[in-house]
Structure 1
Amino acid sequence: MDTETTRIFEELCFATRILAGEGILDGFGHVSARHPRHGDRYYLVRDNAAEPGDAGNFMELDLESNPIAKDCANPSIERFLHGEIYKARSDVNAIVHTHAPALIPFGVSKTQLQPLYHMCGFLAYGVPVFDIRQDNGMTDMLITSQELGFSLARCLDKSALVLMRGHGATVVGASVKEAVFRAIYATLNAQAQPVAMQLGNPTYLCAQEAFLADDLHRSVMHRPWKFLVRKWCDNE
């Protein structure tokens, strides 16, 4: 295994444990990363409860979400959301799919998730809501085909995350570190925003403030990552 692939596997392992510790993932939800050398492939975590260092826990797929290994058993039924987003967004190198409870109300109500504080400047790119029933009729709410994945990716467009009505959210980033950062802080923003609204007339970040804050955080992404690895992974 080459150095870059080893690094991606380590980051995916850390990301899964960090997000589980922060309440963003549990037995459901998943994290993926684009292949470091083949942009038309990606790695998806199979099992959030797997032991660290288990190379078999990382499934390699093409952008059609077909497993590269011909003997691959039981690929994730929602792998298509990853493949179609990577296909549509060359700037995306990592994806987090979450069912975090704090995000659910914003996907089923008319209240828009907005950047309440500087850690969430990325929300200013827009927070679309994907309603699977609107274009696809009755489903089990999961992204179980390329067609459904394409619909989700189209709704995401150029945003950093897309809410999924009655399901959860999908968060993207230029790196695993950024996707994890965004998933955590979007959830914290979702927890704080109803409190601010109850207090009355919250002042959200304006677009310029939000974009400047997002640019700053991209340059220091190693700091929260290092903290979170120590918090959730250093005892392994």
Structure 2
Amino acid sequence: MRTDFESTVANLVDANRILFNEEVVDGFGHVSVRHPDRADRFLISRSLAPALVTANDIVDLDLDGESANSEGPKLYLERFIHAAIYKRRPDVHAVVHSHSATLVQFGIVRGLRLQPVCHMCGFLGAGAPVFEIREAFGDGTDLLIRDAERGSELANSLGDHAAILMRGHGSTVVGGSLQEAVFRSVYLEKNAKIQSEAMKMGDIVPLTLAEAEAADAANFAQIGRAWDLWKRAADNR
């Protein structure tokens, strides 16, 4: 019988493969989960394309984004996204960072806001904020969250939201579980595609905040249904 740690690692491997199969990540992007036995640590793959991740690639990091093994494998440069969010948000137990082109466009158009336009994205609430790295670090960065200071600024901008866009970069999504973070990541992409296409036809009608909250509560009970389907699809790829 698997221990909680072994089950968490296995689910994290599945999450990597699901996110690739559902076209949320490609050769880049990453997903992590809070350690099942240590709230002050999290699990994430070594620096590797998500579809290639196995249980042997999972590493254990602290909330500064560092490993106890200084001679361990190469780590993701942007692991500080995960570390800073776990440090600021005790309610968060999983984080997904990706570079979807559909979502990037919503972070670069002035005045445009990604909003929940379908019931599957009720978790967006009033919409997703946009992290503007220039505000804290000037206009000469490479846009990457490559240290704890940048991670902290991103986490502050995320606040209590479920997702944040990163101007010219991508997005970061959080969840109370690994399955929830993956569910939100998949449907955030779908919502962005729907909104993008709908805006070509006219003014959109987003969910009200009350509708979003009700839809999110209804969807929460069905996350496992989607996870099981996506896992099977990834297994059969």
Q: Return the TM-score normalized by structure 1.
A: 0.94
Q: Secondary structure at the match of 2:23?
A: coil
Separation of aligned partners in 2, 1:162 and 1:48? 22
Q: Distance in 1 between matches of 2:196 and 2:177?
A: 29
The amino acid of 2:28's aligned partner reads: F
Match of 1:95 in 2: 95
Q: Is the 8 A contact 1:12 1:31 kept in 2?
A: yes
> Retained in 2: the 8 A contact 1:125–1:159?
no
Q: 1:193/1:40 Cα in 2 relative to 1: closer, same or farther (>3 Å)?
A: same
Distance 1:233 1:142 in 2: 32
Residue 160 of structure 2 corresponds to 158
CA distance in structure 2 between the partners assigned to 1:11 and 1:45 by the alignment: 12
Contact 2:63–2:86 (8 Å) recurs in 1: yes
Query: Does structure 1 residue 23 correspond to structure 2 residue 10?
Result: no
2:118 is the alignment partner of 1:117: yes
**Partner in structure 1 of residue 49 of structure 2:** 48
Q: Give me the whole-angstrom Cα distance separating, in 2, the residues matched to 1:234 and 1:8.
A: 21
Aligned mates of 1:199, 1:70 — CA distance in 2: 54
**Deviation string, structure 1 residues 190-223 (Cα, Å, up to 9, x no partner):** 1110221122122111111110111111122110
Structure 2 segments unaligned to the other structure (5+ residues): none
| Structure 1 runs of 4+ with >4 Å offset | 49-52
The alpha-carbon distance between structure 1 residues 180 and 49, as it changes in their structure 2 partners (threshold 3 A), is: closer
RMSD: 1.6
Unaligned runs of 5+ in 1: none
- Whether the aligned pair in 2 keeps the contact of 1:33 and 1:176 (CA below 8 Å) is yes
Q: Which residue of 2 aligns with 1:230?
A: 232
Displacement of 1:73: 2.9
Paired residue total: 234
1:76-99 CA-to-partner distances (Å, cap 9, x unmatched) read 111111000000000100000000
- Once residues 77 and 198 of structure 1 are traced to their aligned partners in structure 2, the CA distance between those partners, rounded to angstroms, is 37
Q: 2:221 aligns with which of 211, 215, 219?
A: 219
2: CA distance, partners of 1:125 / 1:6: 37
Distance, in Å, in 2 between the alignment partners of 1:49 and 1:160 is 22
